Copies of this chain bind each other. A is one copy, B any other.
Amino acid sequence: MKDFIKPDLARVGRCGIPEVVYGAGKSTEELIDISRTFLEDQGRIIVTRLDEPKVEDIKSAFESMDDVVLERNERARTLVLRNRDFESRSYGTVGLITAGTSDIPVAEEARVILEELGCETMVEYDVGIAGIHRVFDALESLSGVDLFIVVAGMEGALPSVVAGLVDKPVIAVPSSVGYGTGEKGFTALNTMLNSCTPLAVVNVDNGFGAAAIALRILRLCDHLKDD
């Protein structure tokens, strides 16, 4: 099966962001193969949507390699393998906000990727619009960030409210938290797409996508700064 896999090692050069491996649909065997290829070629691999049994097996496969650091974030369901001497730089600071506690895993997926790819992060979690004063407090705490990633399930109105109060880019992530007509996050998604204050929207639960867009933006600013 090994030769079926064709990791896109050139992506980091082409798009500025390395391929991040979506773990959910792949076997442990495939994941170990891909990880080896990435570690050798790029010095690091980031895997998302990875659950326990596979994590243990991958850890076992790499634990004898002293120069490889493994970092597991259970809530974010991510695994990072990195050569001990891998270096990254910082492009800016992203503020992560969630409407509820159940949205935190999606925000954490974004946070792991942002920090790994060269961003600092600040978080304000559990900031629903049911008590709008909490939004004001959170935005004050995050006044120094360069852009916002806002995660919300249920009615998904938080990113809309945030974008009406700040002048920085706002990336909106619907989460699949909800029930009844809110199930699967499609109501939150639609709310974000119809926001009166325009939002950069990604797919439901797509913390990775939000992080990748944020990074493209901060890399652009970094690039323009040098001009």
A contacts, CB < 8 Å to B: 4-6, 8, 10-11, 14-17, 19, 24-26, 30, 92, 99-102, 104, 123, 125-134, 146-147, 154-157, 160-161, 163-171, 174, 176-206, 208-210, 212-213, 216-217, 219-222, 224-225
Which residue from chain B places its CB closest to the CB of A137 in the assembled complex? B6
Cross-interface CB contact of A5 among B126, B133, B183, B190, cutoff 8 Å: B126
Q: What is the CA–CA distance of A192 and B193 in the complex, to the nearest angstrom? A: 13
Cross-interface CB contact of A201 among B129, B154, B196, B201, cutoff 8 Å: B201
Nearest-Cβ distance from residue A176 to partner chain B, whole angstroms = 7
| Contact status B204-A201, CB under 8 Å | no
For A25, the chain B residues whose CB sits under 8 A away are 100-102, 177
| Contact status B220-A134, CB under 8 Å | no
For A188, the chain B residues whose CB sits under 8 A away are 194
Q: What is the CA–CA distance of A102 and B210 in the complex, to the nearest angstrom? A: 23
Given contacts A130-B197, A131-B164, 4 further A-B contacts (CB under 8 A): A6-B134, A130-B164, A132-B161, A179-B203
Which residue from chain B places its CB closest to the CB of A173 in the assembled complex? B180
Which residue from chain B places its CB closest to the CB of A219 in the assembled complex? B167
For A222, the chain B residues whose CB sits under 8 A away are 224
Q: Provided the pairs A6-B126, A129-B157 are in contact, do residues A202 and B208 lie with their beta carbons within 8 angstroms?
A: no
- The 6 listed contacts between A and B (C-beta, < 8 Å) are A5-B125, A10-B131, A15-B165, A146-B220, A180-B189, A221-B225
Which residue from chain B places its CB closest to the CB of A134 in the assembled complex? B6
Which residue from chain B places its CB closest to the CB of A34 in the assembled complex? B101
Nearest-Cβ distance from residue A54 to partner chain B, whole angstroms = 14
Which residue from chain B places its CB closest to the CB of A138 in the assembled complex? B6
| Contact status B163-A157, CB under 8 Å | no
| Contact status B196-A155, CB under 8 Å | yes
| Contact status A130-B203, CB under 8 Å | no
For A104, the chain B residues whose CB sits under 8 A away are 4
Cross-interface CB contact of A102 among B16, B26, B174, B202, cutoff 8 Å: B26
